[in-house]
Amino acid sequence: MDLNFTPEEEAFRAEVRAFLAGELPRDISDKLRLGRRLTKDDMVRWQKILFRRGWGAGMWPQRFGGAGWNVVQQHIFEEECAAANAPPQIPFSLRMVAPVIMAFGNERQQQYFLPRIVSGEDWWCQGYSEPGSGSDLASLRTGAVREGDHYVVSGQKTWNTLGQYADWIFCLVRTSSEARPQSGISFLLIDMKTAGISVRPIITLEGEHEINDIFFENVRVPVANLVGEENKGWTYAKFLLNHERTSNAGVGNCKRSLTQLKQIAAVQSVNGRPLIEDPRFRDRIAQVELELMALEITNLRVLSAFARENRPPGAEVSALKIKGSEIIQQLAELKMRALGHDALPYLREALDPEWSAEPLLGSHYLSYAPSLSGQYFNLRKTTIYAGSTEIQKNIISKMILGL
């Protein structure tokens, strides 16, 4: 197995790097570098820049408006974007609902929704989890009753990420209770401006508004917005989750986090020596770096196999999701340990781009390491969302090991 990039792939990397140097807005990259708060405008503006370049959706087929990249090209693009402090692309739109519409949507849905997604015109959010229906998603209770040309939807979704920005939401709803739970679920596309939808913020531990409760009270949704067949939504939901878990590995962002960890450890001192010279701490950095290298190779192998065999992601992505989320948390913990007492102060105001520290706090808000305690607590969720680690292990046991 040749682990080296080809000359063509290195040329593509140079092309991506030059594009980022010339087109990535400095105010946006500075926010990522300094750990400041991104806005909806930042992420949409970046998506529109990528769209104008023809890179709005790297691995989408060209017939749907994508760039038609292969697995390695997408990997290189994500790696270079992370290194350049580019913001993430909107995953709910590009990597979750779009593949479902491509695979199971009708031509009208594909022609209307996909161009608006890749251009950044529409922002999507996810309506899966409910109070009491998270890991056991098949127990969801949000109902959709058909009345003529509409479904009338009532219920509640929770842990909805960035729904306060969304134009549309893709929802799993119960359309039948007669068979086993998985057989009575449908996949609906719902305009967030529809009467009867309300969004209530959930403030996370670090004080940010990232997630929401979303309530549906007799919301009328055109039957034309049903994806695929009624009561077949469980199949589409699993297809979507496999695509989501593939991207959860986050190799590029992990590499950026590892670089930041090394920079912090090189500056922070213990007993008059840089922390990175401490054998025990250096060993911990080496261990997580080796695990990240193994994850990167495994990720490329798995995705290349899917592409080669022309099949959607399968149960193998559960292993990528487990390891990727664990590495994300390890890196966050090591950065906290490296900063020591400088990691403790946390002010929400420090996430604002214009904020500057008062003298009392200035020594703790270091130019090479923005306050990390908020990020640390936020990243505790990575082993839960998109299916908890326990659920992923169950999938591996059943679908791969046959236990």
**Active site residue ranges:** 244
Could you give the residue ranges of the DSSP H alpha helices within 144-221?
none
Task: Check residue 148 and give left, alpha or beta (phi > 0: left; psi -120 to 50: alpha).
Answer: left
Q: What tokens does 86 get?
A: 């580019």
Compute, in degrees rounded to 10, the torsion defined by CA atoms 286, 290, 296, 301: 170
Q: How does DSSP classify residue 370? A: -
Residues 292 and 285: beta-carbon distance below 8 Å: no
Could you give the residue ranges of the DSSP H alpha helices within 54-106?
71-83, 91, 98-104
Furthest-apart CA atoms within the chain: distance in Å: 76
Q: Which of 388, 401, 256 is nearest to 322 (CA)?
A: 388
Residues 320 and 301: beta-carbon distance below 8 Å: no
Could you give the residue ranges of the DSSP H alpha helices within 199-232?
none
For tokens 């692309």, name the residue: 89
Q: What tokens does 81 get?
A: 């974007």
Q: Which of 305, 333, 332, 340 is nearest to 319 (CA)?
A: 305
| Burial class (CB within 10 angstroms; exposed 0-12, middle 13-18, buried 19+) of 213 | middle
Q: HSE, CB side, 13 Å, CA atoms: give it for residue 245.
A: 29
| C-alpha to C-alpha distance for 265 and 284, rounded to whole angstroms | 12
- Beta pairing partners, 214: 157, 199
